[in-house]
A and B are shown apart, each in its own frame.
Chain A
Amino acid sequence: MARVFDELTRFCQARSLFILHYCTGCGAIELPPVMTSRFDMERLGVSPMVTPRQADVLLVTGYVSIKTLKRVMLTYEQMGSPRYVIGICSCTVNGGMYWQSYATAKKLDEYLPVDLYIAGCMPRPEAVISGIRTLMQRIESGEADSWKEYYHNYDYYLGNQQKLFGPQWQTPVDVIGEAEQYGLLGPATRGTHTELLEQIQVPLQPLEMRL
């Protein structure tokens, strides 16, 4: 009986995706054509939402510089599960055009779990819609479980994040606490990196913005 309920939930999740309208890099210019009249994505049930708390899908469009990656991590951890990540454009796959750059991340998979990559520079709106439809099929069949991987392997992801952002890296979200609450702890959730995080964790101050 619970399985039928799960199937129904997955069916509805596949048919109603809320994408986070967070335009990370240059690939974001392909999103307005997907949303507007010509390649309408609302007929597939996909709507844009403005805050991570309301959204299901994080579209990482384009290159992620280290500055952006910090904000992407903060955004990703604020989203409610089940959440999916689509890496659009070749820069998320293997560095793309900026593969020699010291300031962009090459393999997005090291920092947060990615469900689907859509290659191209930029992929056309038809390619983006085809990718979204593939994601919908994967959600419906139950394969799109990468959000659980974040909790299962938090130590690995945290280690890579600390390598880039420094050992003082912390987010407002208590990932291990959430994993404990929802029963998603795995053997690889804790490790050396989470120990380092626990040592340096301090209550966060508001960010100081200066120009």
Chain B
Amino acid sequence: MTIATQGVPTPRTHKKDQDSEVAMRLLIIEDDRDAADYLVKAFREVGHVAELATDGEEGLAHALDGQYDVLIVDRMLPKLDGLSVIGTLRSKGNETPALILSALAQVDDRVKGLRAGGDDYLPKPYSFAELLARIEVLARRRGGREEMVYRVADLELDRLSHQVKRAADEIILQPREFRLLEYLMKHAGQVVTRTMLLENVWDYHFDPQTNVIDVHISRLRSKIDKGFSQQLLHTVRGAGYMIRDGR
């Protein structure tokens, strides 16, 4: 497959695609100065505010004091490691969503990270688009209630009856297609990367090396968007996909 360009998306393109975006307050706990500065700048370019802590203890202190939407925690930190920082926060009742960055990419490492209280786990090296998409999903998760019916424009998905309708016409979906659409609609207006889909809809943590996901998406798209004037399932270049009311 030709790998879609993965890099820092230009602010213009990104903002246009993410209009449900609210400026977030982020705390980055990372001891690698270069990586940290890069992240702070990149987040600023897309409209978020990022603060920096360069070791575990400083990070913990900031996190306890401040009100952040999402914490980005590197696993290996001086003074206090990332997992301990999160563990301490959780034990003090702080439920701020935390995304763990780590060079350790095995499934066990991931499980350990999530068990320590992390909400997501991203192995290094990562693309900023991936990180951004996951951060925004984490931030929004915080405020949501569990809805039973997802709606985007005239597309409706009933999670209980497993029925999907567009403009009141029923659309028949295979079980996997339904789950794919469900995940996309759950994060309507947010970028959903291929890796996120593979992890959450299929529960796989490896890199498939080919564009398997793309084909599933295009099949879904042909079922829900074909014949309708308004396209809801968008490809976000350099990042992934998004279901969005285009108006």
Whether A and B are associated in the same complex: the answer reads no
